[in-house]
Chain A
């Protein structure tokens, strides 16, 4: 009797043992046959880099004149600074100058070749260097045109918050963009949506970005982008995913040059920008 009871107890103990072995074996088979041994590692897409050199990738929208070669002088003077545009208020000024063939945007207090911008009026800008004041006049052909803007004190606040059209200056076929524009749009993304709308078009795994709306007179319109343009590449990097598009969004403020290739009427159009 006792022997029988012992045997049945051993049998009861054997049940879980056998079940454990069977289940474990089954799980091992499932693991090796169907389950992956490692997870998915996200590979950060490298940020779109600023161009180190420029290569003509497509026909340009407008033929760009070759930049005038300037012979470097050993001692630069105020004459090297050519005034292109003025944006002035009673206590704040932003000017666009050409210095040694390169366009730069300066705000009050900023320097170029040691010449510090002190103030600006409708016709001229005042610089300071070594205690001396220098006056650079706007060429007469550019006076009294849209490059010059005076701002009432009330408007000063909006000037800082909202980029004006003067943040994009067209020069010799390429456009010069004020860096502040990117800071503004990074902080006020709603302003982007008000001015431009981009639609994604999927072709297999790839995504293309098509401009479906551009507000007339907006900064985006001044950039030369048009409704219906499909963004092909930025700085030579093909834009075929959200990841790449956002790499640009994140890294654009650190770029100095920007080349956007868009497909317009089945032709590639190259748009070039200098960011100052």
Chain B
């Protein structure tokens, strides 16, 4: 009994300390440095890290030095077994709209979840000017988004495909 208790306490304290003492800000900076290699830069105004979460506000997103979007807020929830990235109010810059011929100005919500129950996939849920979309990113570096409740998709159609379930977007990166 004492052994079981000890093991449980060991596992719980290990799980807790791994998350609580995780240098979240520095890990985010490492992500920023990694993204620079792909020409993506993130410029944030503030970072606040808690025990299980981290909040980043007012982020400007640059691709190849061109500002393409402003993100109002990102919340990372880290529990190791269930992790989420909750992105609110992505406002796409006019430059992006004119560059890639799309007529989308805002994505109200982007929600990415990763759970150990499906370790090879991260689920994505989007709600924006194009309607609602759900999809995933998997370990094969593929992304698929199904537009379940499409709205004003006209400007996006040239990059979309259609099947029995409706419009979808698929790419490999």
User: Do chains A and B stick together as partners?
Assistant: yes
Residues of chain A whose beta carbon lies under 8 Å from any beta carbon of chain B = 8, 11-12, 15-16, 19-20, 23-24, 27, 30-31, 34-42, 45, 189-190, 193, 241-244, 246
Min CB gap A226→B, angstroms: 24
Give the most central of B28, B64, B65, B101: most A CB within 10 Å.
Answer: B65
Give 17 new A-B contacts, CB below 8 A, not counting A38-B29, A190-B101, A242-B66: A12-B5, A12-B6, A15-B6, A15-B10, A16-B9, A19-B14, A23-B21, A27-B21, A35-B23, A35-B29, A36-B32, A39-B32, A39-B33, A40-B32, A243-B64, A243-B65, A244-B65
Cα separation A19 to B102 with both chains bound (whole Å): 52
The one of B14, B22, B36, B65 that contacts A27, using a Cβ cutoff of 8 Å:
B22
Indicate whether A241 sits within 8 Å of B23 (C-beta atoms), given known contacts A39-B32, A189-B98. no
**Are the CB atoms of A35 and B65 closer together than 8 Å?**
no
- In the complex, chain A residues whose CB is within 8 Å of the CB of B17: 16, 19-20, 23-24
- In the complex, chain B residues whose CB is within 8 Å of the CB of A190: 101
Taking the complex as formed, is B43 at the interface, i.e. its CB lies under 8 A from any CB of chain A?
yes
Min CB gap A152→B, angstroms: 32
Min CB gap A262→B, angstroms: 22
- In the complex, chain A residues whose CB is within 8 Å of the CB of B35: 40
Residues of chain B whose beta carbon lies under 8 Å from any beta carbon of chain A = 2, 5-6, 9-10, 12-14, 16-18, 21-23, 26-30, 32-33, 35-36, 41-44, 60, 62, 64-66, 95, 98, 101
Indicate whether A20 sits within 8 Å of B21 (C-beta atoms), given known contacts A12-B5, A12-B9. yes
Cα separation A215 to B35 with both chains bound (whole Å): 38
The one of A12, A24, A37, A243 that contacts B66, using a Cβ cutoff of 8 Å:
A243
Cα separation A27 to B22 with both chains bound (whole Å): 6
Cα separation A96 to B17 with both chains bound (whole Å): 75
- In the complex, chain B residues whose CB is within 8 Å of the CB of A15: 6, 9-10, 13
The one of A16, A41, A189 that contacts B13, using a Cβ cutoff of 8 Å:
A16
Cα separation A36 to B95 with both chains bound (whole Å): 31
**Are the CB atoms of A241 and B5 closer together than 8 Å?**
no
Give chain A's interface secondary structure class. Answer: helix
Q: List the B residue with the shortest CB-CB distance to A23.
A: B17
Min CB gap A246→B, angstroms: 5
- Which are the 3 A-B pairs with shortest beta-carbon distances? A243-B65, A16-B13, A35-B26
Cα separation A36 to B44 with both chains bound (whole Å): 16
Indicate whether A35 sits within 8 Å of B27 (C-beta atoms), given known contacts A42-B41, A242-B65. yes
Give the most central of A24, A35, A37, A244: most B CB within 10 Å.
Answer: A35
Cα separation A246 to B32 with both chains bound (whole Å): 23
**Are the CB atoms of A40 and B21 closer together than 8 Å?**
no
**Are the CB atoms of B26 and A40 closer together than 8 Å?**
no
Q: List the B residue with the shortest CB-CB distance to A200.
A: B64
Give the most central of A11, A16, A19, A37: most B CB within 10 Å.
Answer: A19
Cα separation A45 to B66 with both chains bound (whole Å): 10
- In the complex, chain A residues whose CB is within 8 Å of the CB of B27: 35
Q: List the A residue with the shortest CB-CB distance to B63.
A: A242
**Are the CB atoms of A37 and B2 closer together than 8 Å?**
no
**Are the CB atoms of A23 and B14 closer together than 8 Å?**
yes
**Are the CB atoms of A246 and B95 closer together than 8 Å?**
yes
- In the complex, chain B residues whose CB is within 8 Å of the CB of A38: 29
